[in-house]
Amino acid sequence: MRKRVQHQSGRLLSEFLVSLGLFFLILTADLSIVDLATDSASQARTTQFGLGLAQNALEDLIADSRAGKAMVRHSTHSQSVSKGKVVRFNQTVRVAPMAQFSSHLSLATVVVDWDNGRRKIRLERYVAGR
């Protein structure tokens, strides 16, 4: 009788352990899917913010009446892109007059980088000084 109870207990324990193993196997796969999906969404949002920053900087230059003059300007901008995650964007605006072509024409370059420089957006445009 005792032998049979021991046998049953052993079988139950092994079933429990197998179930536990399967549960953690599925849990790991599920968690990695959720993590990948939220990470992709967060990256898409961050890239959108970075692009918006670069576009705004170019629009500011177009509207600026002194845009034709040579200059380099660095700035930083922090943005909350997802719950509890704040991304720091570094922005560099450079204006280089193109004296060889025109006395009024300059090349404006806006570079926005984040994630320690691993991700970068660069926009270029000719701007006219007035």
Residues of this chain that bind another protein (CB under 8 A): 8, 12, 15, 19, 23, 26-27, 30-31, 33-34, 37-38, 41-42, 44-45, 48-49, 52, 55-56, 59-60, 62-63, 79-83, 128
> Where do we find the tokens 């207990």?
9
Contact 123, 109 (CB under 8 A): yes
Cα–Cα distance, 125 to 48 (Å, whole number): 19
Judged by beta carbon, residue 33 or residue 72, the one nearer another protein is 33
Provide the minimum distance between the beta carbon of 78 and another protein in the complex, in angstroms, as a whole number: 9
Q: How far is the CB of 46 from another protein (least distance, A)?
A: 10
CB 56 within 8 A of CB 35: no
- Which residue number, 23 or 99, has a Cβ lying nearer to another protein? 23
- Judged by phi (left if over 0) then psi (alpha if -120 to 50, else beta), residue 77 lies in beta
Q: How far is the CB of 58 from another protein (least distance, A)?
A: 9
Between 55 and 90, whose beta carbon lies closer to another protein? 55
Task: Give the neighbor-by-neighbor strand order of the sheet with 85-97.
Answer: 71-82, 85-97, 105-114, 119-128
Nearest distance, CB of residue 4 and another protein, angstroms = 8
